[in-house]
């Protein structure tokens, strides 16, 4: 596995050190300002403007880069849909299924966003997996727990009807829950719900992948203070706004949806987790605490720490760390899928 030496401070695997390229800094500035202009002072989102800014691409059943895509509405009542990414190469035999939850602080973006369409296409093509990317309802129009409910419904749909929509080579007994930012948060909550109350057979969850998950609390962590004026994709002020938009009315950031380490999950049977952390992500302290919390609860957790990764680095075009990350991710999936 191509990861660098172990970091003695928190037992994570660390990448080499490089500066953030200027083009990435410029893109961060554009994304931050695009988000800022859509957030209103009254706690609502200018959804029309947000939809204009968000670059979406249509599904395409003609294979492109070895992958074809298809959109399916899975709940006519809520309008929740999934986008399937299927590798067009049956010669590889059976392959795992990744259920993917996109980021956007629960308030923005979708699986049709060009960045997520591109990344999920890479996952499907380069790692030879089927990807089921979930378009859950967004806050503040749909507050907590709407996103969790929608993503759980997507798993139930996959269990009941997914076999009819995926090729026979898609192996539901080797399924992974994966998400970044808010999607990483969703992985935790949906994974715990499955462990508490659901028989998902023939689906078997082989692992959780939480990529820079969006966790938080009332405390200001050292990383939040240190990186508040740096080059992160998000700011402390923006994160606070998004938590108010998502959490139930009157809740603080210590609500269990955000501050997940406050919940005892020791009795839950959870699969191994891979927690991806970036050294330039101001949420890193919450992410590292989460991984340590899993271990204290008796769960298997591996930290993949990239020293020079900003928040959501993997969806930025041309980011130098992405190829390494995909190799590291492929290793985790392969090891867990083969057990």
Q: Does residue 6 lie in a domain region?
A: no
Q: What pLDDT score was predicted for residue 339?
A: 66
Query: Which of the following is catalytic: 281, 285, 308, 328?
Result: 281
> Whole-prediction pTM value?
0.94
Q: Does residue 148 lie in a domain region?
A: yes
pLDDT tens per residue across span 74-111: 999 999 999 999 998 654 579 999 999 999 999 999 99
What's the full length of the chain, in residues? 339
Tokens of residue 262, six digits: 């406050």
Q: Does residue 7 lie in a domain region?
A: no
Q: Does residue 26 lie in a domain region?
A: yes
Q: Does residue 74 lie in a domain region?
A: yes
The question of whether 75 is a catalytic residue gets the answer no
pLDDT band at 18 (very low <50, low <70, confident <90, very high): low
Whether the pLDDT of residue 231 is over 80: the answer is no
As a whole number, mean pLDDT of residues 136-149 equals 98
How many folded domains does the chain comprise?
A: 1
Query: Which of the following is catalytic: 12, 15, 133, 181?
Result: 181
The overall average pLDDT reported for the chain is 91
Structural domain of residue 190, as residue ranges?
A: 18-338
Q: Does residue 4 lie in a domain region?
A: no
CATH of the domain at 185: 3.40.50.1820
Q: What pLDDT score was predicted for residue 20?
A: 83
Beta bridge partner(s), residue 209 = 178, 274
Q: Does residue 135 lie in a domain region?
A: yes
pLDDT tens per residue across span 233-251: 889 999 999 999 999 999 9
Tokens of residue 83, six digits: 């986008």
In percent, the amount of the chain with pLDDT more than 90 equals 82
Task: Give CA–CA dist 122/318, Å, rounded.
Answer: 13
Q: Does residue 181 lie in a domain region?
A: yes
The question of whether 171 is a catalytic residue gets the answer no
Whether the pLDDT of residue 7 is over 90: the answer is no
């Amino acid at each position: 596995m191509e990861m660098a030496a172990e970091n003695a401070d928190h037992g994570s695997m660390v990448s080499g050190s490089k500066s953030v390229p200027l083009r990435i800094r410029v893109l961060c500035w554009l994304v931050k300002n695009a988000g800022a202009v859509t957030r209103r002072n009254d706690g609502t989102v200018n959804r029309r403007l947000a939809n204009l800014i968000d670059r979406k691409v249509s599904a395409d059943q003609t294979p492109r880069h070895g992958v074809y895509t298809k959109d399916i509405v899975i709940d006519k009542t809520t309008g929740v849909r999934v986008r399937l990414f299927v590798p067009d190469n049956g010669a590889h035999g059976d392959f795992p299924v990744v259920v993917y939850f996109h980021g956007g602080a629960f308030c923005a973006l979708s699986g049709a966003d060009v960045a997520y369409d591109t990344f999920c296409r890479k996952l499907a093509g380069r790692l030879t997996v089927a990807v089921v990317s979930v378009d859950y309802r967004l806050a503040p129009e749909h507050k907590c727990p709407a996103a969790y409910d929608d993503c759980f419904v997507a798993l139930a749909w996959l269990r009941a009807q997914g076999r009819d929509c995926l090729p026979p080579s898609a192996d539901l007994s080797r399924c992974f829950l994966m998400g970044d930012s808010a999607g990483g948060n969703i992985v935790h909550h949906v994974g715990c719900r499955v462990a508490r109350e659901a028989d998902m057979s023939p689906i078997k969850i082989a692992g959780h992948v939480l990529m820079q998950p969006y966790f938080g609390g009332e405390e200001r962590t050292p990383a939040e203070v240190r990186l508040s004026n740096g080059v992160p994709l998000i700011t402390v002020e923006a994160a606070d706004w998004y938590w108010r938009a998502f959490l139930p009315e009157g809740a603080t950031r210590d609500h269990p949806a955000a501050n997940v380490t406050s919940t005892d999950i020791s009795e839950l049977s959870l699969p191994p987790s891979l927690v991806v952390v970036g050294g330039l992500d101001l949420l890193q302290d919450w992410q590292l605490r989460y991984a340590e919390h899993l271990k204290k609860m008796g769960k298997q957790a591996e930290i993949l720490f990239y020293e020079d990764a900003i928040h959501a680095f993997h969806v930025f075009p041309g980011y130098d760390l992405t190829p390494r990350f995909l190799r590291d991710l492929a290793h985790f999936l392969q090891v867990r899928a083969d057990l």
